Every structure is written in C-alpha cells, then in structure tokens.
Structure 1
C-alpha cells in the first residue's frame, strides 16, 4: 500500500480510503490510486487482515449435517437456505457452508471458521460439534428440535441470549399426521431418520425413544407413538424402517424390506408415516412397482409439504422452511432476539384415507 501511495502522490490513508470508503476520496484522486495500483500489481487491502482488525467477517456459516451435496440436492434444504440467503443479501453478509461428517474433525471446522455467527441445519445433536459452536461465543441459530444439553449447561442464562432454536412442535405435528394416516389401519409402520451417528439402514420394532440420539427424530417418534397407542396398537409391534440418509433413492432398500414384495401384501404395513416427503415418495415408488394402490392398500404421509408432495397428492406436515431460514439468519445477526415456535399445519391429500363420519 505504501508503494501505491508514493506512486500516486497521496498518503497511505488516502489509498486505504480509496478502497474502503471511496466516497471520502475525490474521483480524480481515486483514479490516480487505481492507475498506480494496477501498474504495481496491487489488488487492494487484504480482506482477511481487515476482518481481523475489525473483529468481524460479515458472514454467516450454515453448518450442514447431511453433507455438502445435500444442501443443493434436497428441495427442502434449498428452501431453507434460500431464506438464509435472503437475509444475507439484505444485510450485505457473505454466506458460507460448513459440512460436518459426525467425526472428531467437526469441532475443528467450527473453531477454524471466521464467520460471525452460525446457523445449524439438519439433525444437530449433543456432542463435540455443538459444544464447539456454543463455546465459540458467537450467535447461533439452530433449526429443529432443541438439543438436550442446552438447558442443562451451567451457563444456561448466558447461552440463552445468543443461542436460539427455531422449530415447530414436532411431537404434536407427528401425532396429528400419524393419527390421520393410521385411521382404520391394522398394521401401522414408520420410516424414520437416523437414530444414532453413522446409522446403518435397518428395520427395528418399537425403538426405545430415550436412546434416540437426535432430538428431532426423537420428538417425531414420540408423536407417532402417541398416535399408535391412541389407535389401540402396541408401539413395540410397530416396524420402523431407519434410513442412513434422508434421500429418496438411498432409502429404497430398507423401504423395500419394510413393505415386502407383491406377495407379502397381507402381512405388510397398511399405513406408513415418513419423516420427510423424500422418504414418503420412496414409499410411493415401491408401492407402485409392486402393484399396490394408495390409500386403498397402503395409506402414506410425509413431512415438509414440498411441491413434489402436492404433485403426488401426498398428505404431509406443512412447515414454512424458507421462513425458518429467514428467522434463523435474523437471530444469528441479532436483528431479532426471540424465536417464537414456528407454525405448522396438516396438508391432507389423497394418499391417506378420509376420516369416517
């Protein structure tokens, strides 16, 4: 910068203003600075150094728990990130994605991030990652069910002012959609998100919910169990297909195991609730290929009320994910200070049976 100042015949401060506050420099002086900088190969002040001096990077980091490609491939993820991005545009913030893999390096990725604030998206649970995010001292917004450890921290009062949770009432929503889906069913079943880290796809029966690691999945399973028991069934008898990843194609093998082939219809489930529309669409794929109808043979519901759900007539839980992304970003930037419980509703369509009069 000093060389540019000498070449342009101005002070170092004037060169700095030409880049950081051009309204404070006359057009002629700014032109001389730019000409001298080009001749000397100077690209301008180092933004990292400027951020260090200011103590801010003017950026939000979104922590993605399902892998980086999930952020772009999954329609619901795209909706959520669009909400975050809209706030970044409004407040002139950069947006970075931090993929985490559930291993020991996740906490290092958080500690190395220069972001001013974090938004945690998809399946956050207690552990080193969450500890590192909270310990960073930066503002944090978590989408989804509240991790158990937040209320148990000794510094809960201090943390409460900068760590916020944006969520719907998962248990109530799950109970409502399961009640609609299981109406008149004899053999209810569930397709669930992962219950633990490094989950292998499997079918279990009536899992012990206190052992479920991820609070969002746990709350939804509690709601499903409420509906199962209200309908007179035993939770211990209910098959639960647990997926390793929330992906329509990846989930097919375990869903095929859950539903059985065309010759297993008499013993197969006759009603299935899925924790996402993508998983519910995988159920519809398998049913179609094995010659079964919906809701005649099997009632099906999903979660998120995506455009694809509407296209396929899929009953689903509606939640405004783009609005939740907006709310998370505003909380992360300190533009709002409270996170009200997000609204939800049921989108009842043709894949579930109408209630009997």
Structure 2
C-alpha cells in the first residue's frame, strides 16, 4: 500500500499492519495498552508511510470527548506560575490526569485571553480554581459540562475546600496565648483595591466570594474571644500574594505606634516578607514581634526563624479534584483537613 500521505487514514494503516484500527489508535493515544515492541513497530511503519496519527478534531466529533480538561484560574497566568500554592495544586491535578492520559488546558480568568476564544467548547469539563470573574463563570456554566470548584462554592456543583474560618481561628488562638500588646492583621484581597492599604471603613468583600474573608473572620473572632478589640485601621489589605506587597504592608504595620507585637498574616508569602521587614527594622522574631502565616509552603520550614503556619494540603486538593472529576471518588463536596504547625516565629 503506497497511497499519498495526505490520503492515509487510520483504516489504511490498520489494513497495512494487519491489526485493528483500535490498535493503531492506541499506539498514538494509549501507549500503555500495547507492548513496547508492538507500539514501536506501528509508529515506525506510520512514519515510513507518512501517516501522522488519528485526527484529534475528528475523534472528538465521533466520541464527544477530547481528553482535555480545562483548568480555570482566578488570576493571571504569570502570577499563578510564581505562586507556590497554585503550583502545588496544579501538580496534584497533573499527576492524576497524566496517569489517565488526559491533557490540561490552563485558562486564566483575569487575562485578555479570557474573552471566549472557543476554548471552553473544546474541553471535556472544568476544574475551577478560585472564584473567576462573573462573566467567565457564566460562560462555563453555559457549556453544560462537568465542573469541580476549588476554594469556593457554586450551588449545585461539587467543591473541594478547606475550613478557612476555623483554621485561621485556631492559628490566632494559639498566637494570642502569649501575646501582650497590639495585634495587626495582614490580609489578602479583602477589599476591592489594587493598592496596599488599611481597610478603614471600606466594605469587605462578601464572605462567600473569597477564602481570605473567611480567614479574616476567624482571626477577628479569636481576638474577640481573647477579650481584645481590633480597630479597622490595624488591618492591612494586600492586593496580591507577592513578597513585595507583603513587605510593604508589614513595614507600614511595624512602623505604627504602638507597634504591634503580633502579625497575623493570611499567607506564608506575606509572613515571610514580614519577617524580612522586621529584620530590616532591627526587630527580632519572635522576641520583638511574633508572626504567623497560612499555607505551609516549603520555604516556611527552611527559613530561619521557621514559620508558624496552617498546613493545607495544596497538592492533595488537586489530587482530590481530579479524582472526583474522573469518577475515582464519590461525587460529593470535600472539606480537606488542615493542621496548625507551630514553629519558631510564634512558639
């Protein structure tokens, strides 16, 4: 058989190799289904004849599935690739989906590319990490495909979350036991502003729209439970989870009078930046100021002093979301447990 390469089909190759069309397809798409020798033989013959493999678009029309999962992020791609928590979550997703030979299509909701270029219609379903912009969410729901949400809820859909309120409250209760003096909170995306600022009388974001509002309420309830009051101007808003913005907020807080003796931070990145700000102001941690974080990223235990924080299973959240999507777990919402990790920054 020596037809022109542009006319070669899966059926042509199967007849030439004296195997089924499924066997040829598996050589390209499901290599684990064939022996190494048979797969290499099939691919070598296909290369020799100029056959490039089954057409993905045609296959998706036949089966209604593409083997591609859309992962919608609540932030910019450039930001997500530098955020250790997001990286760990994506790692958990990738490990499960790759083992089942699925591909991931990452779709940020805060980039210009979000303006519906047809990506949503091509994927088999969505893992939505963090609340996307409203119009993005509406487009995804309109596709009538499987949706698993992570770190937020949509009525009628399965979600994977942690208990942010109680995790933050437990951390604050521990930190307040041996704290004498003022407390400051370094929040994360708690008001609608692109700048580091104190919240003053600004309206907080809705509790069901952001995990950090739940953490803030956990902090505030622990402070109230300790018989202390918390003025709004002692709460800082950090618009993005970056070292530079965390450092700016921490430096402002530590230069206030009276200076806070405890900084409750809503992420490890902010907390680590706060430790650097304290060092630059000749303050010792924890002797002069105690600091807590949230997430337990790898740097938290290697930094000196090591960081007291809330450990959340970021990789595990990705693993669980992927397994639910693939039917390897019960299709029900999951609250992943957390753990308070006490280290040097706030013993």
After superposition, residues 66-85 of structure 1 pair within 5 angstroms as 66-85=75-94
User: What is the aligned partner in structure 2 of residue 244 from structure 1?
Assistant: 239
After superposition, residues 107-186 of structure 1 pair within 5 angstroms as 108=116, 112=120, 114-121=122-129, 123-124=130-131, 127-146=134-153, 150-151=154-155, 160=156, 163-183=157-177, 184-186=179-181
| In the alignment, structure 1 residue 215 sits paired with structure 2 residue 210 | yes
SS at match of 1:303: coil
Aligned partners of 1:282 and 1:231: how far apart in 2? 27
Change (3 A) 1:328 1:2: farther
CA RMSD across the alignment: 3.2
Aligned partners of 1:93 and 1:327: how far apart in 2? 16
User: What is the aligned partner in structure 2 of residue 56 from structure 1?
Assistant: 65
User: What is the aligned partner in structure 1 of residue 46 from structure 2?
Assistant: 34
| In the alignment, structure 1 residue 234 sits paired with structure 2 residue 242 | no
Contact 1:4 1:33 (C-alpha < 8 Å) held by counterparts: no
User: What is the aligned partner in structure 1 of residue 282 from structure 2?
Assistant: 291
Aligned partners of 2:72 and 2:271: how far apart in 1? 25
Stretches of structure 1 lacking an aligned partner (at least 5 in a row)? 152-159
Aligned partners of 1:267 and 1:203: how far apart in 2? 16
User: What is the aligned partner in structure 2 of residue 326 from structure 1?
Assistant: 319
Contact 1:270 1:299 (C-alpha < 8 Å) held by counterparts: yes
SS at match of 2:258: coil
Contact 2:198 2:233 (C-alpha < 8 Å) held by counterparts: no
User: What is the aligned partner in structure 2 of residue 307 from structure 1?
Assistant: 298
SS at match of 2:293: strand
Question: Which of 4, 10, 25 is equivalent to 1:20?
Answer: 25
- The range that moved more, 55-64 or 110-119, is 110-119
Aligned partners of 2:101 and 2:185: how far apart in 1? 43
SS at match of 1:108: coil
Aligned partners of 2:126 and 2:171: how far apart in 1? 31
Aligned partners of 1:7 and 1:138: how far apart in 2? 34
Aligned partners of 1:191 and 1:129: how far apart in 2? 29
SS at match of 1:250: helix
Displacement of 1:78: 1.8
SS at match of 1:351: coil
Displacement of 1:170: 0.8
User: What is the aligned partner in structure 2 of residue 96 from structure 1?
Assistant: 105
Change (3 A) 1:187 1:145: farther
Displacement of 1:177: 0.8
Aligned partners of 2:95 and 2:268: how far apart in 1? 24
Change (3 A) 1:2 1:231: farther
Change (3 A) 1:331 1:7: closer
Displacement of 1:117: 1.9
Change (3 A) 1:6 1:340: closer
Displacement of 1:53: 2.4
Stretches of structure 2 lacking an aligned partner (at least 5 in a row)? 28-33
- Deviation string 1:4-35 (CA, Å, 9 cap, x unpaired) is 49789x85874792742557xx99x9589626
User: What is the aligned partner in structure 2 of residue 348 from structure 1?
Assistant: 342
User: What is the aligned partner in structure 1 of residue 310 from structure 2?
Assistant: 317
- The range that moved more, 201-210 or 112-121, is 201-210
User: What is the aligned partner in structure 1 of residue 199 from structure 2?
Assistant: 204
So what's the TM-score if we normalise by structure 1?
Answer: 0.80
